Structure 1
Amino acid sequence: MGHRNYLIEGVSGTGKTSVCRELQLRGHHAVNGDTELAYQGDPVTGEPTAGARHEHHVWRVDRVEALVADRSRPVTYFCGGSRNHSRFLHLFDGVFVLDVDTDTLNRRLTARPADEFGGTEEQRRFVAELHRTRRDLPATGIVIDATAPLEHVVDEILRLVG
């Protein structure tokens, strides 16, 4: 089997980080894009920007390209969200979009500490709007019901990847 790459996306609170950790625990190569690839930059030009703004949460395209080009692993999972995914979406063999119902999303975000994105009331309202509109998500992708237990969510992704 050749080297394959998959993006796992979703709004804040849908479980991207948890899925990434679970994939890693199961021995899969999974990259947490929100911590390993992200920076604050212009989504079009990639130029760094000052301050922390949702619309400037982008990934280093050169790092994504390098990881995709690395043929030392059969599959790499990229987990997280970025406002510049249109610049590298074509590199992936598939996209999974984690989705939850509104009650689950609110419950998960309410449990977050205030210093984590989605942990304040204003941020929760913003995430709820993103969830409703799907504004920042890839237009195509296989929707995964992430209200299921984490183990089932990861099992489903692995089943679909084959």
Structure 2
Amino acid sequence: MAHVLVTGMSGVGKSTALRGLGDRGVDVVETDDGDWCVLGQVPGAPRGTVDRVWREERMTALLDDRAGRPLVVAGTVPNLGRFLDRFDAVALLTAPLDVMLDRVARRTTNPFGKDEAERERIVADTRAVVPLLRAACTHEIDTSVTPPDDVVRRLEELALRR
């Protein structure tokens, strides 16, 4: 059984995939929800550069506790690189920028991406962050051409691998 990290920009379908995995009985953690993140120093950035980062002690405890049992964690935070070696697979969900922006404009489950500043951040982060995520991922799934049920199936297969 594996630990799988699902990452990608806003609007690629991470939350939709996690809901589908949860419906199939896979244990999932959406780090955008709850108390998984705190404002903290961005690793490798100039001192004083802060953003939402994982609570490292909490993420460590989660992954230690789940040893040997499948788990899918979703998140895209500046300090995820500190945990990459704890995941058996890193699945990068992608979609063209226009698709992502349309999705965040229409979604009702998350307010992020509704105002212009947030949409500009999605554009900037897509240009700057996606290449870094792509370099670290073991699997990439384009959610604009892969139906949601197939995305869920592929992620479930990763989580259930021995």
Find the counterpart in structure 2 of residue 150 from structure 1.
148
Contact 1:13 1:109 in 2 (8 A): yes
TM-score, with length taken from structure 1: 0.81
- Structure 1 residues 41 and 5: alpha-carbon distance in aligned structure 2, compared to 1, 3 A threshold: same
Find the counterpart in structure 2 of residue 110 from structure 1.
105
Find the counterpart in structure 2 of residue 70 from structure 1.
65
For 2:142 and 2:114, the matched residues in 1 are separated by: 22
Instruction: Report 1:1-162 matches (<5 A).
Output: 3-36=1-34, 37-44=36-43, 56-71=51-66, 74-112=69-107, 116-133=111-128, 134=130, 137=133, 139-141=135-137, 142-147=139-144, 148-161=146-159, 162=161
User: Which runs of 5 or more residues in structure 2 are unaligned?
Assistant: none
User: Which runs of 5 or more residues in structure 1 are unaligned?
Assistant: none
For 2:90 and 2:116, the matched residues in 1 are separated by: 30
- The AA in structure 1 aligned to 2:19 is R
Cα deviation, residue 72, structure 1? 6.8
For 1:159 and 1:89, the matched residues in 2 are separated by: 19
For 2:42 and 2:82, the matched residues in 1 are separated by: 9
For 1:12 and 1:137, the matched residues in 2 are separated by: 13
Cα deviation, residue 65, structure 1? 1.1
Cα deviation, residue 96, structure 1? 0.4
Name which of structure 1's ranges 9-18 and 71-80 shifts more when overlaid on structure 2: 71-80
Please give the per-residue CA displacement for 1:104-135, whole angstroms capped at 9, x wherever unaligned. Answer: 1121022146x722111221122022223326
For 1:12 and 1:107, the matched residues in 2 are separated by: 11
Contact 2:101 2:113 in 1 (8 A): no
Contact 1:85 1:138 in 2 (8 A): no
Name which of structure 1's ranges 145-154 and 88-97 shifts more when overlaid on structure 2: 145-154
Cα deviation, residue 8, structure 1? 0.3
Contact 1:43 1:84 in 2 (8 A): yes
- Structure 1 residues 150 and 17: alpha-carbon distance in aligned structure 2, compared to 1, 3 A threshold: same
Compare relative contact order (CA 8 Å, sep 6+) and give the higher one, 1 or 2. 2
Cα deviation, residue 136, structure 1? 6.1
Aligned length: 152
